[in-house]
Structures are given as C-alpha cells and as structure tokens.
Structure 1
Amino acid sequence: MFGHMSIPSPRGEREKLITALTPQLRRHLKIRAFEHGMDIQDATEHAIKAWYEADGLPEVKTDGAKTWGTFLPAGEPDNFKAVCAERGVTYVQGLAQALSLWLDNHPSPTAPLVSQPVVRVIVANQKGGVGKTFISSGIAQALAEAGHRVLIVDYDPQGHLTAELGFEDLMYEDDVETLLMHMEGSAKGDIHDLLVALDQDRFGERLHLLPASDDAFLRDVSLSKVSFSEAALERALEPLEADYDVIIIDGPPSLGLNMDTALYYVRRREGELADRSGVITPVWANKASHRAFRLLRKQMDDLCSKGRIQVDYLGLVINAYDSRRGKLVKENKDQWEKSSSPGVLAVIGDLKEGREASDGEIPLLEYAPESEHAQAMRDLAKELAV
C-alpha cells in the first residue's frame, strides 16, 4: 500500500507516506528515537536517506505488518517509491530495510540524552462498555510488573476500576478529601494521602491507584466554575508526577469538560517528544464504535485548535473481538486496521479471563498471569516509550 498527501509544516512542505510496518519494528523505532532525542518522523526521514546510499541489504521479515504513515519532505514519497521499484522491493520491505539499518547504526545510548516529563496516557472513548477499564488497568499492571512506577487514576465517575481492584469501599468514605477537591483548589491536605497501593508481590509496591469518589458525577458542573478549568487535573496531579514513570487515566464515558481536563493533561508538553504521552482508544468491531470514535476525535480537534495544543493519538485497541460473530464484525475490524492515524496497536480476543478477574476483584496479571489476555497487556505496555 502506498499513498501521500501534502500538508504545510514548520519543517516545510511535507507529504504523507502511507505504507505498513511490523509492530515490533515500530516499537523499536519509537523507543530508539526517544533515546536519541528525536521524534519518529525525523528518524524515519534520516533512515530513508541512509537507505538510498546503502546496497546489498538483507531482506527483513515483514510478516504481520500493519498500516503505518509518516510525513516526509515534499517529493520524498515519490522518490522512495521510485527507488523501491529500481531495487525490486515492495514499499513495506524498503521501509523495513531502511529502519532496520537506522536501528543498527543508532544503538541505545548508555544514558538517556534528554530529560522528559512523566509519561501520561488516557484510555478514552465516550462510548461505555468497550473495555476502557480493562485496558487501562491491564497496561498499568504490565508496566508495574516490568519494573516501572505506575499511578492509575480512576477518572470515571462510575468507579468501575476502583471496584474491580477491590477498593470500592473507598469511594463512599465520609470526611475524606477527593480528587475533585484538589482540582477545584479547595483541598487542605496532600493528594498523596488519597493513594492506595496494590499489594501483590509481582507489582513490587510500584502500582498505585487514585480511587474514584462519589462526588465525581459533579465534576462537569464544579469545573465550570473553576478558572482555566482545562488545567485543573494537571494542577491536582502535579505534586505526584516526580514519584512515577507513567500515569494512566481511566477516562470517563462522556465528552464534557471532564474529558477536556484529561485530554489537556496528556497533551504534548514543551520539549516532550511526539507519541510519548497521549490517547489510547479501545473500540469494538462495530459501527457504534466508529461513530463514538468520530465524536471523540472531534472533541480532541476542537480542544487542540482552541487551546493551541497538540494531543498525540497513541493508537486504537480492538477489544473483545470474535470472528465467529459474522461477516460484519470482520469488515468493521478490517476497517479499523486500515487506519494509519491512529493505527491499531492490538486486537484482543473476547476471552473469559478478563471478566473472571474483574468479577473476583483480582488484578488480571495476578489472576491469570499466563493467559492470552495477560500477554496482550504486556505487549501493549511495550508500546509506551517509558
């Protein structure tokens, strides 16, 4: 697959190259570019230029490649296409060779070259029931299991995450300050006092939860009275950021001010690399998910335009997929997988372990650590450049 479109850019006129890339190669590129203080777009441009000068390169495995796009200087997509034709390779193979060569020539530095803010991710979709809590909790568990310090924030007023991790009682405590109070500026205490730790050995005391509270349903109304309300979540969580490598927000099933504050929180900060913090959207292989995604995308675009900010889309996760549900389900899945911006990070089957862990109020990786569901979460966690 190959195509391109022109856009104006601070780097000059650029055209989009649409081809395909294996998840493994994409993940290695993302991490290595981060380690060298580059964004993925610049790394890819340098990789293709070096590939033009190289010859006799070995074939790279491209099984499982998924649609992927990047912007190159005007004319470069056509130039790349012509060189691929001369060498008798597909565009997918040509890009794989170029990126593999770049990775070989740019090994991991012994120390990070740039200091970056804490990684901030919201798992968001205004449609309920698509697996936001399952995905956000699973990624957080996998990151903590791998040695990262992780905070997961239950930002959904329904509090499913808090309940499913066994802390439902905390939602209804009296005379306790809440996240909303810290967002409003009315809290007197330290926000650290709201946190609870998951005590399973596999998480090594690295996984903490900021529980939901029963005043969260009032958040939209309350925030409308707060000055510069979009930054309210950031102001509340800022004292926690130095303690964590990753902060994951389990987003609300709505598109109001509540969502705006969360999207603003995961925006690309000054000096932060692209595609590091941002949005992951769980979807189902049905028409309703396509409609819901368009609404979320519109809200993101409006916020970015009005606030003059950039919010990166980290990708989609097709959840609860079962090919036995018929032709329309497969067609909807195929439609999602044709998306390159954002691309599909994973397809997760409709398996029982996630439901059983939720019903038993046990973290998935503790309940079924060897399951396909658990491994899918570990693979997703590797997508984040932490």
Structure 2
Amino acid sequence: MTSPDTSGDREKVVTKLPAALRQELKVRAALNGLGMQDAVEAGITAWRGLGSNPTAIDTAGAETYATFLPAGLWDGFRSDCRGRGISLTQGVAQAVTLWLEDNPVPEVKRPDTVRRIIVCNQKGGVGKTAITAGLGEALAEDPARLFPVRVSRHFAALLEETGDPLSMEDLPGLGQRVLLVDFDPQGHLTKQLGHDPLPMDGDSLTNHMAGDGKGDLRDLVVTVEEERFGDRLHLLPACTDAFLLDVRLAAVRAREAALERALTAIESDYDVILIDCPPSLGLSMDAASYYGRRRPNEATGNSGVLIVVQAEDSSADAYGLLTSQIEDMRGDLTLDIDYLGLVVNHYDARRGYIATSSLQSWMDIKDPRVVGVIGDLKEQKEAVRAKRPLLAYAPRCEQSVALRALARETSK
C-alpha cells in the first residue's frame, strides 16, 4: 500500500518486516549516519540489481512497517517480486538483509593520543565522582546499540518557565576503552562501582607515583562488569595510602610528572583515562593538572580539566581557587592546560532564584563554557546504594541521558 508524501518526491509505503530485522536496521542505519528510509531505498535498489534471489529470510511474525520511498520505486519493486515469485514481505526482508550485509558496523574511531580528562574541584560534595563515573560509562557503551541521549543546544533554555527545551534522540554508544582512576583516598568511586579499595599493605597508584611500585600497575586494574560496557570500562581502585600522597611526593624528583610516569605504562590499553580528583589544592592536584596538559602534537581540547560545580554561591569561590592554581601551573611550567568545560551538577530549578541565577552566572563565564547540566534526581543515589553504574541501573533516567550528551559534548 502507498500514499503520497507531502514533500512530493517520496511516497509512504506500508509493508511488513520481522521485528528483529527492523530493530537491526534501525541501529545499523544510525551507526552509518543514515535514516532508515534511505537504508531501505538503498537495499531495494541493490536487490533489484541482483541476477537471482538471495537466500530466503524467515519472516514469521512479521509486523506492519511504514517508510517513505522515492515515487515509482515501490511499484517497480513490487513488479520484480511478482516476477521472481516471492511475496512483498520476503522481498523487503531480503533487501534489508542485503543492505545490512553491505553496511557492517563501522569501526570505532580511536584517538591518536589517549584522552586524559581531569575531573576536579577543590570543593567537596559537588559530585565529581558521579560525573567521573557517569561520563566514563557513557563513553564506554556498546557501539552496536542505540541509547537515549538528551540534547540541549542552548542551556539557557533550562531557565525558561514553559515548554521543554530538551529533545531526545537515540544514538549509538561511543564504544571507547575507558579507565576510571580513583585518585581520591576516600575511595568513593571505587565503592560506588561495587569494588573494595586496595589494601594498605599491598601495591597502589600512590606507590607507583612515589617510585615504589611493587609490580605491574595493570594487575591493580579491575573491570566494571556490565553487559552494555563489554570489556571496555575499567577501574583503578583507590587506596587509603593516598592520604599520604602529598607528603611522599614532596621527596620525589619532578613531582608534578609523577602521575604521568605511573600511568604511561598502561595508556596504550585505553582511549580515554578519567581522573577523579580529591577535593584538594595540594601536590596531587598539581600532578593531575600536569597529566591533563596538552602534549606535543595533541589536538586542542583532546585532554584537559573538566570542572564540576553546583548552582550555588560557594562553588564560585572554590572555582576561583582552582583556576588560580591551574593558571599558576600554566605560567610557571609553560604548559598548555585546556579547560574542557564546566559541568553544573545537582541542578534543580525548583530551588528558585539561587539555583537559576547561579546557573546563569556559570553560563555567563563563556570560557570555560558550560558543557553539561545534570539534574539532582533520586536515581543516582539509588545506583550508589545498589553499587551499580548509573547507566546500567537506570539507563533511561534524566541523569543518564544528560551524561550521554556530556560525553558527546566533551568528545567534539
């Protein structure tokens, strides 16, 4: 059955397609940057050019499916199906399968230089750990599946009292190989993801930074076990010996490079390394900032610092102290340290003028600009209690879809 499309160059076609084949078509078309109707058009065109029928497809349970095709294409395809002695449903299934075979899942693009994202703010309680975990999870999701992403082109729209400024769309997972580094001796990231901190009498990142590593750093890394991440999301757990890190670094030569020296050995295993920094402005923060500096021949914005703030006044004071320290490092050591942006966390417009005016103040800064606004919702707290990644615990909640948008914003 067909009906004209209002655009005049396509007509609506109603046919049938097995649900599993339709879902695979939806995912693969998105992965290849095409609309489903364009993929079906290409498949039918290729099928009509074949000299013989492909292998029959099981179309049991096929469901009604509608798409738009160029005027005349469906009539010609229907005539070809009659001539080849097969049903329209079988013909469409063969055409879609042919397109899928000709358009495999594209390779995930790997960065030339491992991305190093330093998630920081010297103020505690702003949610650095939640942002580190959620961003890493969003970067590691399955590249052969679609996930809901909440996209807002203008964060200022969040301040509007009416209407929904945000739009949802299904996009492929980013499929990055991600290492989360719990650089905070409190170990919140480690515990949130269901792991135990490293024992004090064993090996640790602190030991490797101080030049006293007891083995291969890889042996300390654990996998975050969730199907949607495959084997792409790993964690370097915290150890409480990190409370002594600044003291130990004081005796280390070129101490600002200590974190880089420790992690260099495992960088080749990953596309992105995220550092969950402690609420501190000590030597550990210097080492983290240095690690996030732009390396020779590295693209601007590939690595750098991502600052987590809240829509309230005390965050502004902490932000000033942190950026002063980063600027001092930039000048003293002649480094290029890029700001990847500001993430306004725990945002809730219902808190009134303090929240909305503070958000406006963050957006007014412009450089660094706001790259994410994450709501203050119950799902994050529930995921922490369950000791599961948020994007696995509540993949469609507002925080999850916003974190996927943040992952894409920081990957540009």
Q: Tell me if TM exceeds 0.5.
A: yes
Matches within 5 A, 1:165-180: 165-168=193-196, 170-171=197-198, 173=199, 175-180=201-206
Q: Would you say the 8 A contact 2:200–2:241 is kept in 1?
A: no
Q: Would you say the 8 A contact 2:184–2:278 is kept in 1?
A: yes
The structure 2 residue matched to 1:285, chosen from 285, 293, 311, is 311
Structure 1 residues 111 and 205: alpha-carbon distance in aligned structure 2, compared to 1, 3 A threshold: closer
- Paired with 1:186 and 1:293, the residues of 2 have a C-alpha distance of 34
The structure 1 residue matched to 2:126, chosen from 109, 126, 130, is 130
Q: Where does residue 159 of structure 1 map in the other structure?
A: 187
The structure 2 residue matched to 1:194, chosen from 189, 198, 220, is 220
| Alignment gaps of 5+ in structure 2 | 1-105, 142-173
Q: Where does residue 38 of structure 1 map in the other structure?
A: none
Amino acid at match of 1:135: I
Q: Where does residue 218 of structure 1 map in the other structure?
A: 244
Q: CA deviation at 1:113?
A: 12
Q: Would you say the 8 A contact 2:374–2:403 is kept in 1?
A: no
| Alignment gaps of 5+ in structure 1 | 1-109
Runs of 4+ in 1 over 4 A off after TM superposition: 110-115
User: Percent sequence identity over matched residues?
Assistant: 51
Q: Would you say the 8 A contact 2:110–2:271 is kept in 1?
A: no
Match status 1:312 vs 2:338 = yes
Q: CA deviation at 1:383?
A: 2.0
Amino acid at match of 1:325: R
Structure 1 residues 115 and 143: alpha-carbon distance in aligned structure 2, compared to 1, 3 A threshold: closer
Q: Secondary structure at the match of 2:208?
A: helix
- Paired with 1:132 and 1:174, the residues of 2 have a C-alpha distance of 24
Q: Where does residue 374 of structure 2 map in the other structure?
A: 348
Q: Which has the larger radius of gyration?
A: 2
Matches within 5 A, 1:290-369: 290-369=316-395
Amino acid at match of 1:269: R
- Paired with 1:348 and 1:174, the residues of 2 have a C-alpha distance of 35
Q: CA deviation at 1:266?
A: 0.4
For 1:24-61, what per-residue CA distance to the aligned partner results, in whole angstroms no more than 9, with x for missing partners?
xxxxxxxxxxxxxxxxxxxxxxxxxxxxxxxxxxxxxx
Q: Where does residue 142 of structure 1 map in the other structure?
A: 138
Match status 1:258 vs 2:254 = no
Matches within 5 A, 1:25-174: 116-145=112-141, 146-168=174-196, 170-171=197-198, 173=199
Q: CA deviation at 1:385?
A: 2.9
Q: CA deviation at 1:205?
A: 0.9
- Paired with 1:188 and 1:155, the residues of 2 have a C-alpha distance of 18
- Paired with 2:354 and 2:283, the residues of 1 have a C-alpha distance of 34
Amino acid at match of 2:399: H
Structure 1 residues 176 and 296: alpha-carbon distance in aligned structure 2, compared to 1, 3 A threshold: same
Structure 1 residues 293 and 191: alpha-carbon distance in aligned structure 2, compared to 1, 3 A threshold: same
- Paired with 1:326 and 1:296, the residues of 2 have a C-alpha distance of 27
Amino acid at match of 2:175: G
- RMSD value over aligned CA atoms? 1.8
Amino acid at match of 2:127: G
Superposition TM-score, scaled by structure 1 size: 0.69
Q: Secondary structure at the match of 1:215?
A: helix
Amino acid at match of 2:134: G
Q: CA deviation at 1:339?
A: 1.5
